[in-house]
A and B are shown apart, each in its own frame.
Chain A
């Protein structure tokens, strides 16, 4: 074609009579050629862009994080004492330093410029012997245990102020339990270790003196005016085993206190009965001879992260055992370093990440549930004196022996997703065992999103499987008949009718499936099963009597190839009969309803919107696709093959099953694949006809949630570029690849078949 065109162009040039008009024509031709080429190619490219865009959004999920030092500066107000803790607020603008003399220095996190200095009011003649930073750390509370058995709790507050559209953060100190020190030990012994928890309605302070554990809890009296509500205090004392206590931690609900000894003995103390605490579990969490070097809660205060002198960090959580008692169990272990862990810092606000530092100054940032090592960096040449990860986990503040504070930036966007957390069983906090769970959002902050795609993929395949179970027999048998046995006159009407079935909006099929079919099947479950048996039986009996017992003349009066039309009333009557006998049959066989029988005999529950409903509705939607392609393939089998077979004495059915089907099998196969692809990606039917519960249950009477429906439900509510957003894109990418691969395979098979036919 283009050669011809070139020759036209050339002849136009060779003839010297080129008028102005003709030149214009040629220019126009050349311009349009380029326009169409560019337009056509870019349109086609635009389509390819889809794939790469999906990939582009998903890609950051699997990037590893990075950390880099930004600045370092002299310790602000070094004379105020040795650093107990460093702290940094959410915006990474203001940091604070708490010293052993009770001074609190607020300074700019990036420069070290002192913003304010405050002093905690200590009673005369006392000194700070122990201190602890409360969790969640963003609330910024700190408790000091004093040498006279008293304790002080202070809280840092950061108030935002907007002046001329510029944000300034004003730090201050407050005393949530009052400025006066609280007497924890009446005898006045020094509080060696202290721990506390400020809850919504009550506060608990646990302190250790010698080998006694003092538990003081303060409950707010219910009052309309929360400001001046009185505190009700209750106290109790518990004898503890002798040994060096490394740390004391109080869990989220203020039900358990964990007392960790340096030699690895962990005591879980039940304090839910305020007046009568008891040790409910004692266990050794590390190998003998090793030492526990650091311990911390993971965000949410449910799991303990225990670091030891061999560089292992293990996660422990309370798990309900068979008798319903919650016991501490080891959930997973991270090999972090070869030397001793000096600090575990899990102050991330919304994620289950944690940071470790060993005594050689190696820092590691991990995510617990995805079991990913995000960052490994050398942050110090020796054991750092104090270190803190910011609430948003994007900066790190570290004080070294060199007398400086180092400020690091951390870029760690999506630690919660890994191949393991997406596809394998994961042991989430407060679950009894590892499981596949999709649960993407919740109202509370310390909720952990659970992104396992496995239940969604399972649901997708389950729905597609049941749909194919309905669609394949119907469409293939229909295609065989329509292409080979049906009279051409009837075919003219049947083919478009079935193709129109494919054009019906799926939202309508879904609506019918959810609001009409689902209640219908629930009420007539046994009828549905009896139809499966009775209708084919009716058809065979009818055919038999029609062909063998009916007088010849009557049979001849009905032309060949109209069997399908005659069968319509037969099937309707058979179906009606099946439904009408189903109830007596059900009563007779199962002594009640079939649903109850399944429930009582096999423990199979029944959801109204289940895989059976989806199977039928989606099967209906897929039938035309498979039918159309399979029918084309069977119809296209060259006529000389069939006539040859028939001439050799084969019956029509033998010809069909041994010659035609065999030849057309690639086409049929490709039809099934395309149909399967459609069933996998179908959204509206599954959205409306299933309960959309992401469970993994093979039962045909249970609901499911598919990848496509999940995207449709959750996508509009996600925050752009969040992990959830990217995981949903990943689900879309999985769908895209899946259907694309299936369709391409099918298309290649079909093209091969076409070549084969033309060569036959």
Chain B
């Protein structure tokens, strides 16, 4: 019977089924992994206090968050140099985020479970998110104003929250002044310098102009001085308060509130306050600038850059892709040539994306960009404007990359429009373009939409070509701001995909940055899967519609 079963080929069918199951497990596993790690990042995890016996036998206190654990079989642990007794089968290790990098030199440490003598979660432990040196963990002892203690013990917490609120507001004001107002003055001064240079190049620089320019400059200078005085004053205020806390080793540390983003007591938080905290952190992640070499803070510039780039790309790729598809399907004589073109277009979708990047860098940036600089921006020389990677060239390169997707999809849509509709329109006396514009294209528009969505999804996830034509790890300014001409196509920008690569692989503190990378990945995956699902839905809907039409 078993022999027969094997002969019937059933095992093969089951193995084939197993392949499908494996694929499903892999997809769900990967998505689940990203989801689990990405979602957890903003949850306020408890701070534990451990009595830990160091290798030299001393008992020490360790305070920190539990991040990861590993189970190593005894054999491997021994070969890695751990000393284990014979009755131990496995070595359990925990990765603790102990923070306090300014004091200990590192954020993380691995500890062995068997050396943990006692574990508690005291409610008064605080976690301080700082602008420098990563997190701090310890106990709050006092709050100081101008170096004098104003609250200590239990009262300290409430006073701290009050003072911190003020400090954060001040920080926001300073940031606004420095980035927006002073940044704008600097931008205008630079524009003035360029305008002067342009006039000099045209030999139109004369005393009258010089007077006009120096007046303007003086006006900017006045503004600048005023803002500077304001920021100086704000700095004075923000430096006033500080908090005092003790670390795990008992040492005392004074942290100025100007360097503090948030102070929490996760062990004292209930579920609801944790949810509130979670939402707040998520909001900050999506709307703030990155800090500490991108390993902390938000990813707003990356989201913004990605969206800008994708919009620019869509604006470029849609008309060209649709026109090419309309030409191929409606105007060109069907035959060997169109077949050849179709094969070529189809295959361009398979050309490695990095090749497009190389082309973009060589052709768009160095040749086109160089020419544009020569003709229109001589005053910038020797600094390049469009002759260097930037938003425009990234969009154009990705438009080229996604062109085949739009062409193929649009063509498919055009092919699905029943012939009878076209013939009916022509028979009623409409010209060809009228037929196209009024009947065929509207009917094919969902297909174009599908193509565009797929193109957007591809562009949002593409990194390799962008590394060559315009993405940077940290862009000082957004490509869209309040300074004329508002949209700065020549600027470099940040991108979610590149952010993942850069923070995950190029940052000095990969361990600390990892949760952030997972969270960024989750965002990117959600966006891209959402786009793809909507494309699939539109496509299915379209099919149903035409089935009805044909029937």
Q: Interface residues, chain A, CB within 8 Å of chain B?
A: 1-2, 4-5, 8-9, 25-26, 28-29, 32-33, 35-37, 39-41, 43-44, 46-50, 53-54, 57, 473-478, 480-482, 485-486, 494, 496-501, 503-512, 514-516, 523, 535-536, 539-540, 542-544, 547-548, 563-565, 567-568, 570-572, 583, 586-587, 592-593, 596, 620, 623, 627, 651-654, 656-657, 674, 677-678, 680-684, 687-688, 708, 711-712, 715-716, 720, 728-729, 732, 735-736, 739-740, 742-744, 747-748, 751
Contacts and interface: CB of A to CB of B under 8 A. Distances in A.
Interface string B53-93: 00000000000000000101101100100000000000000
B34 interface: yes
Interface stretch (B111-119, B278-286, B351-359): B351-359
Given A47-B345, A501-B23, A505-B528, 17 more contacts: A8-B429, A32-B432, A39-B323, A47-B348, A53-B359, A477-B15, A485-B16, A500-B529, A505-B463, A506-B463, A511-B500, A568-B24, A678-B350, A681-B353, A683-B352, A716-B467, A743-B350
A473 B19 contact: yes
Contacts of B529: 500, 503-504
B327 A40 contact: yes
A500 B356 CA distance: 23
A480 B20 CA distance: 9
B359 A50 contact: yes
Given A47-B403, A501-B23, A539 B326 contact: no
Q: Which of A478, A506, A657 has the most CB of B within 10 A?
A: A478
A535 B21 CA distance: 12
A66 to B, nearest CB: 25
Contacts of B415: none
A56 to B, nearest CB: 9
Contacts of B16: 477-478, 480-481, 485
A501 B15 contact: no
Given A50-B356, A511-B501, A500 B324 contact: no
A652 B422 CA distance: 45
A711 B358 contact: yes
A511 B504 contact: yes
B87 to A, nearest CB: 16
Contact of A28 (B327, B328, B344, B431): B431
Interface string B414-428: 000000001100100
B75 A684 contact: no
B431 A8 contact: yes
B504 A4 contact: no
A244 B352 CA distance: 62
Contact of B11 (A481, A543, A627): A543
Contacts of B345: 44, 47
B19 A28 contact: no
Interface string B268-302: 00000000000000000000000000000000000
Interface in B141-178: none
Nearest to A736: B355
B17 A481 contact: yes
Nearest to A35: B323
Nearest to A8: B426
Contacts of B339: 751
Contact of B333 (A2, A48, A684): A2
B328 A40 contact: yes
6 nearest CB pairs, A to B = A40-B327, A681-B352, A653-B9, A505-B461, A477-B19, A683-B464
A748 B340 CA distance: 10
20 contacts: A32-B433, A50-B359, A503-B528, A508-B34, A508-B525, A523-B72, A523-B76, A539-B14, A539-B18, A542-B14, A544-B5, A567-B14, A571-B18, A657-B9, A681-B355, A683-B353, A711-B354, A711-B357, A712-B464, A744-B343
B20 A43 contact: no
Contacts of B350: 674, 677-678, 681, 739-740, 742-743
B347 interface: yes
A46 B400 contact: yes
Contacts of B324: 39-40, 43-44
B430 to A, nearest CB: 8
B434 A511 contact: no
Interface of B: 1-2, 5, 8-27, 30, 33-34, 70, 72-73, 75-76, 79, 320-321, 323-328, 330-333, 339, 341, 343-348, 350-359, 361-363, 366, 400, 403-404, 422-423, 426, 429, 431-434, 457-458, 460-464, 467-468, 497-498, 500-501, 504-505, 510, 514, 517, 521, 524-525, 528-529, 532-533, 536
A564 B21 contact: yes
A409 to B, nearest CB: 25
Contacts of B457: 503
Contacts of A544: 2, 5, 11
Contact of A44 (B341, B351, B533): B341
B296 to A, nearest CB: 18
Given A683-B464, A716-B467, A29 B433 contact: yes
A743 B347 contact: yes
Given A4-B423, A681-B351, A728-B358, A653 B27 contact: no
A570 B21 CA distance: 10
A583 B327 CA distance: 63
Given A29-B434, A683-B353, A478 B358 contact: no
Contacts of A485: 13, 16-17
Contacts of A747: 343, 346-347
Contacts of A53: 359, 362-363
Contacts of A596: 79
Given A501-B27, A563-B17, A684-B464, A40 B524 contact: no
B14 A540 contact: yes
Contacts of B8: 651, 653
B135 to A, nearest CB: 21
Nearest to B317: A43
B330 A1 contact: yes
B501 A564 contact: no
A548 B346 contact: no
B357 A712 contact: yes
A732 B363 CA distance: 14
Given A53-B362, A508-B34, A743-B347, A547 B17 contact: no
Nearest to A732: B358
A568 B25 CA distance: 7
B528 A40 contact: no
A44 B331 CA distance: 14
Contact of A539 (B15, B347, B460): B15
Nearest to A25: B431
Contacts of B343: 744, 747-748, 751
A732 B354 contact: yes
Contacts of B341: 44
B155 to A, nearest CB: 44
A512 B9 contact: no
B22 A516 contact: no
B361 A511 contact: no
A39 B346 contact: no
Contacts of A39: 320, 323-324, 327
A41 B323 CA distance: 9
Contacts of B11: 540, 543-544
A716 B492 CA distance: 14
Given A507-B461, A729-B362, A748-B343, A715 B13 contact: no
B18 A536 contact: yes
A563 B22 CA distance: 12
A564 B24 contact: yes
Given A544-B5, A548-B2, A653 B76 contact: no
Contacts of A654: 9
A312 to B, nearest CB: 41
A511 B358 contact: no
Query: Most chain-A CB neighbours within 10 Å: which of B15, B352, B433?
Result: B352
A563 B14 contact: yes
B200 to A, nearest CB: 14
